[in-house]
Amino acid sequence: MRIDPRPALPVTADKTAGVQALQPAAHRQGARFEAVLSKREVAARRSLRSDVEQSSNAAGISAELFGSTRSLEILEYVLDSVLPALDAEPEIKALAHELISEEIDMRRTLEQQRAEVQA
């Protein structure tokens, strides 16, 4: 057994002050915080509602964008300009060329049939 020769800690009669308990936040502050949160929720809902209303508004969209003439132009552009520059295997390019060509032919046939029916 070993005895430690350190002197004992001095004993004082003075006590350190006790830790004070935390006081709860004032009720008024809690109400203010809740009000700020609810304002944010309302603003977020309004923002989402306006986004939905704008997305459902189709007044600015022209039907010509989805017409067969425009889609044929796009398909031909893809076939003539995009597909040759595509970095893909030759079989994949050939398959894409065949599919796009078939789609173009089918759309032209449909256009001819519509023209015959309307005439």
Question: 75 and 112 share a domain?
Answer: yes
For the chain, what is the domain count? 2
Q: What is the pLDDT at residue 93?
A: 93
In a domain, 2, yes or no: no
pLDDT at 81: 93
Regarding whether 72 and 35 lie in a shared domain, the answer is: no
Where in the sequence is the domain holding 47, given as residue range(s)?
28-56
How far out from the chain centre does Cα 103 lie?
32
118 plus 89 within the same structural domain: yes
AA letter at 70: R
- The answer, yes or no, to whether residue 23 has pLDDT greater than 70, is no
110 within a domain of the structure (yes/no): yes
Tell whether 73 and 116 lie within a shared domain. yes
Domain shared by 85 and 41, yes or no: no
115 and 75 both lie in a single domain: yes
pLDDT band at residue 115 using 50, 70 and 90 as cut-offs:
confident
Over residues 25-84, the pLDDT tens digits come to 666 677 777 888 888 887 888 787 877 777 776 666 666 666 778 889 999 999 999 999
| Token pair in block for residue 71 | 């889609």
Cα torsion 38, 42, 48, 49: sign = positive
* Residues 81 and 46 placed together within one structural domain of the fold: no
pTM exceeds 0.75, yes or no: no
Q: What pLDDT was estimated at residue 101?
A: 95
70 and 119 inside one domain: yes
